[in-house]
Amino acid sequence: MSAPLLAVENIGRRFGGFVALDGVTAQFEPGKVTSIIGPNGAGKSTFFNVLSGVLTPSSGSIRFKGADLTGTRQHRFVHLGIARSYQITNIFPELSVHENVRVGAQASRSRYNIWTNRNTFHELSDRADAALQAVGLSAKRNETAKFLAHGQQRALEIAIALISDPEVLLLDEPTAGMGPEETREMVALLETLARQRTILLVEHKMKMILGLSDRILVLHHGRLIADGSPREIQTHPEVRRVYLGQNDGYA
């Protein structure tokens, strides 16, 4: 087993009296796809928000490449190498498709410069085009982002998340609201990405998860109840009881 890239130690998060995460400990190795599953309200989104710096954990710590990230502000996470996408499409609606990605690339290069013309950063523009190519949106380059189809907007969001060239990519339900055809395209895209980087995935589509994941974590009421390969998870008695059992014909 190689050294973990990302590790959480006894993470807890409360919202007032509600415990959303309760002592979760896990380690993520480089180059693997890990899915996080669990019924609604299990704490998946909170877990993702803690891993991406949106929320500071109430207890416990996050370590990335050996450095403690607990309490680091969210925008720093991207610069360190952890990027994310959102469950609800989160793009810049009025900007062009290309500018959506270009402005994402720019964040690693120039944030407060008021003197240079932004168009002189050719490298950023080229990187944005390469990212659009990777997610299959090159033809839509100059369109206003809000006019894209839903599936294309989801792909655009992944391009924005990818543009910082993150070591860890957190994808929160990338196929949410997609039809079968769009889902197939997204799965193909994720399979390509999985060969290049460490991916953490929250999803509900079991067939997709079982096909894509190297490893699955199961959350229930904020606790980690199982952690193993897809095969182990499928046969795990507690998982079958709380989660898979409610979902007949999942596979």
- Per CB under 8 A, does 150 bind another protein? no
CA-nearest of 171, 159, 164 to 111 is 164
Q: Which of 2, 18, 67, 119 binds another protein (CB under 8 A)?
A: 119
Among 6-14, 78-86, 195-203, 220-228, which window interacts with another protein (CB under 8 A)? 78-86
Binding track over 34-73 against another protein, x by CB under 8 A:
------------------x--------------------x
Count interface residues toward another protein (CB under 8 A): 39
| Cα dihedral sign, 104-106-110-115 | negative
In one-letter notation, the amino acid at residue 151 is G
C-alpha separations of 123 from 102, 127, 130 in Å: 10, 6, 11
The nearer residue to another protein, 99 or 203, going by C-beta atoms, is: 99
CB of 98 to another protein, least distance (A): 12
Q: How far apart are CA 250 and CA 238, in angstroms?
A: 16
Half-sphere exposure of 31 (CA within 13 A, CB side): 4
- Angle at which helix 150-162 crosses helix 180-194, to 10 degrees, equals 10
The nearer residue to another protein, 64 or 86, going by C-beta atoms, is: 86
State which of positions 159-178 bind another protein (CB under 8 A): 160-161, 163-164
The nearer residue to another protein, 67 or 114, going by C-beta atoms, is: 114
How many other β-carbons are positioned within 10 Å of the β-carbon of residue 80? 17
- Per CB under 8 A, does 107 bind another protein? yes
